[in-house]
Amino acid sequence: MKSLPKPTIRRTRIDYLAAANGMSVTPDSWLHIMSSGRNASPWTEVWSARVFGLDISNNPNEAWSDATSNRGAAKYSFKTLTKNTFIGPSSGTGVKRKCTPEMIEEAISSVVAYVFTDVTQLPEISLVYVPASIIMKWWKEGSLGKNGRPSHKKFYALLGARETQWVNFITGEDIAIEERNM
């Protein structure tokens, strides 16, 4: 398990024309599909785990279930950031579902970190790693709101100014700013 000590941001640009072609959809359709957190999550979670070097127990499907594994690997909560994000468990969001403050605190306590995928500026994507201890601090301060749904703007205000490292979308390796459009 790799544990990063502080919030970390990685950013990439997707060749969405090639991605759309590979999915046999128009580029506009691809952008629309991937701007939904529900649609983007399965592939961005696995990819972001690779970028940050997180052990998801060699099973990409583990990442799709909010947090990984019951096999002793560290647990991470993967969230997609759109207009806002939900810090609590996936079981606490949706029609006719309720989430209590206790459920949110339990969700934060059950993981070592949150990994957010910001799809608001497609085809550029930001991946944000935040240790659970920082999320818990924000929660206890009331900074995440009473329902654990900070807005996009609030989320980045809490993060503060951070250095962003660009990464290659295919390899996940760091790249120099000059290379990012390659």
| Neighbour-count burial of 182, counting CB atoms closer than 10 A to its CB (0-12 exposed, 13-18 middle, 19+ buried) | exposed
Q: What percent of the chain has pLDDT over 90?
A: 16
Q: How far is it, in rounded angstroms, from Cα 120 to Cα 150?
A: 15
H or E segment and range at residue 55: none
The pLDDT value recorded for residue 100 is 86
Phi, psi (rounded to 5 degrees) for 168: -75, 130
The pLDDT value recorded for residue 75 is 82
User: Mean pLDDT over residues 129-142, rounded?
Assistant: 94
User: Mean pLDDT over residues 145-166, rounded?
Assistant: 84
User: Is the Cβ–Cβ distance between 117 and 80 less than 8 Å?
Assistant: yes
40/133: higher pLDDT? 133
Residue environment code for 87-120, b if the CB has 16+ CB neighbours within 10 A, otherwise e? bbbbebeeeeeebeeeebbebbeebbbbbbbbbe
Q: How far is it, in rounded angstroms, from Cα 176 to Cα 73?
A: 32
For 66-109, where are the E strands, in sequence order? Answer: 76-81
| Sign (positive or negative) of CA dihedral 33, 95, 133, 152 | positive
The pLDDT value recorded for residue 66 is 44
The pLDDT value recorded for residue 77 is 86
Query: Does residue 165 have a pLDDT over 80?
Result: no
User: Mean pLDDT over residues 55-84, rounded?
Assistant: 61
Q: How far is it, in rounded angstroms, from Cα 159 to Cα 7?
A: 7
Q: How far is it, in rounded angstroms, from Cα 175 to Cα 72?
A: 32
The crossing angle, in degrees rounded to 10, of helices 101-109 and 132-141 is 160
pLDDT digits (tens, 9 = 90+) for 1-27: 355 668 888 888 888 888 888 889 999
pLDDT classification of 58: cutoffs 50, 70, 90: very low
Query: Does residue 180 have a pLDDT over 60?
Result: no
| pTM check: above 0.85 | no
User: Is the Cβ–Cβ distance between 70 and 133 less than 8 Å?
Assistant: no
Query: Does residue 78 have a pLDDT over 50?
Result: yes
114/178: higher pLDDT? 114
pLDDT digits (tens, 9 = 90+) for 81-134: 888 888 887 766 666 777 888 989 998 998 889 989 888 888 888 889 999 999
